Structure 1
Amino acid sequence: MTTTLGRTAPRDLAAQSPARLSLTPKTTLAGLLDGAWWPRSRDLEAELPPLAAALEEPWGRVTRVTVNPGRWPVVPHTVALDGRTLHVGWFTEQDPDKLILLSYTVGRWDLLVIPPETAPAAAARLMAAAAIPGSILAAGALMANESAIGRGTRDAARREATWEGEGGACMSPFGVAMGRSALPLSANGWR
């Protein structure tokens, strides 16, 4: 007897899951971003409905979305939302790390788009930074800063691995492992 286990398609999973959002609190301080969005995939057709639904209460009805096509493999012209249509546009001039949402009655909102493959700790830092009221950091700057932080973490791990792999060998100020002969001799001759 064979049992077939059903798999939930990524599109179905995205549609069933709530959008991962961090929004700037309402304040008089205007910043460059209105928050951050961390989609689960790069499938706009699956990811936009939960995003629009989550934003309807705090921001109103989203009617248009623009993206940079460099981050999305397919940019559909329209996405169906509960009996209505969300229009999607793309501009290569737009910051690739930003999503712009438009409404006829309420206005415009800019969200940092955190790549789906981002580690949870990095995504949490980015979501918090994008939601700071009055922040002057653009989406690209936030992503570059996070990239630098991630690189610093990887470099520290690499240095520790080198230390352990060399048996605790001394490192020069330039990060190069020095042989044991480079260690000064103590007064009793032991190294």
Structure 2
Amino acid sequence: MTTMLDRATPAAPDSTARLSLAPSGVRPGRLDGAWWPRSRDLLRELPALAADIDERWGRVTRITVNPAQWPVIPRRIPVTGHTVHAGWFSTEQDEHTIAVFSYAPLRLNLLVVPPETAAVDAARLMAEAAAPANTTAASDLIAAETGGGAQAPGSRSDFLPSAVAPSGGAGDAGVRADVARTRAASWPVPV
């Protein structure tokens, strides 16, 4: 398993991704690994992740996330040498994952460890997510780490960006309509 946990102080530049991937040549489990961002700011966090994945796996061209964990989801994120297109799915994608797509075309499904997670807990989650035998969904891994019934850190609905949040009591139907429009305008549904 490849693990790169940053040991720098929080004030240090975010030059490396805290990333753990399943071993090369081994069929991964349900997840291909885990990513532990330092914040919930995709503009700040994605360049380091894309740079690391670009070197190992091919140029990252797009990502999808669940808006429950990201207060702002920009449509385009500049990274060194290119732009990554971003999209979101509220019901189709586990809220604790990021799907990363490369030019190849390949796809990685990564557990997103909440930024506020303690280092010891994050390391354990990252190792579990990258284990080839892992058959546990991302949200189930987070729930087990936070005590099961407790709400996972950052999973509150108030993290939804105003452009994504349902309006006028429409419930999730408004979000699903926005997802359909985003999907139609952005790219084909990931497989």
TM-score normalised by the chain length of structure 2: 0.68
Equivalent of 1:40 in 31, 38, 44: 38
Once the two structures are superposed, residues 26-78 of structure 1 have per-residue CA deviations (whole angstroms, 9 ceiling, x without a partner) of: 23433111110000011000100000001112211110000001111100000
Q: Say if 2:128 is the partner of 1:129.
A: yes
SS in structure 2 of the partner of residue 56 of structure 1: helix
Q: Which one has a bigger Cα radius of gyration?
A: 1
SS in structure 2 of the partner of residue 48 of structure 1: helix
Q: Would the aligned equivalents of 1:98 and 1:111 in 2 still touch at CA under 8 Å? A: yes
Give the corresponding residue for 1:18.
16
Q: Would the aligned equivalents of 1:63 and 1:86 in 2 still touch at CA under 8 Å? A: yes
Q: CA deviation at 1:13?
A: 5.3
Q: Which has the higher contact order (CA 8 A, sep 6+)?
A: 2
CA distance in 2, matches of 1:96, 1:119: 19
Give the corresponding residue for 1:62.
60
Indicate the larger mover: 90-99 or 134-143. 134-143
CA distance in 2, matches of 1:121, 1:13: 20
SS in structure 1 of the partner of residue 73 of structure 2: coil
User: Match for 1:41: what amino acid?
Assistant: S
Q: CA deviation at 1:82?
A: 2.0
How many residue pairs were aligned?
A: 140
Q: CA RMSD in A?
A: 2.1
Higher fraction of helix: 1
Q: Would the aligned equivalents of 1:32 and 1:137 in 2 still touch at CA under 8 Å? A: yes
Runs of 4+ in 1 over 3 A off after TM superposition: none
SS in structure 2 of the partner of residue 73 of structure 1: coil
Q: Would the aligned equivalents of 2:62 and 2:85 in 1 still touch at CA under 8 Å? A: yes
Give the corresponding residue for 1:155.
none
Q: Would the aligned equivalents of 2:22 and 2:28 in 1 still touch at CA under 8 Å? A: no
CA distance in 2, matches of 1:97, 1:74: 15
Give the corresponding residue for 1:85.
83
The residue correspondences of 1:1-191 to structure 2 (distance < 5 A) are: 16-93=14-91, 94-148=93-147
Give the corresponding residue for 2:164.
none
Q: Would the aligned equivalents of 2:28 and 2:131 in 1 still touch at CA under 8 Å? A: no
TM-score normalised by the chain length of structure 1: 0.68
Percent identity between matched residues is 54
CA distance in 1, matches of 2:127, 2:29: 14
SS in structure 2 of the partner of residue 71 of structure 1: coil
Q: Would the aligned equivalents of 1:69 and 1:90 in 2 still touch at CA under 8 Å? A: yes
SS in structure 2 of the partner of residue 148 of structure 1: coil
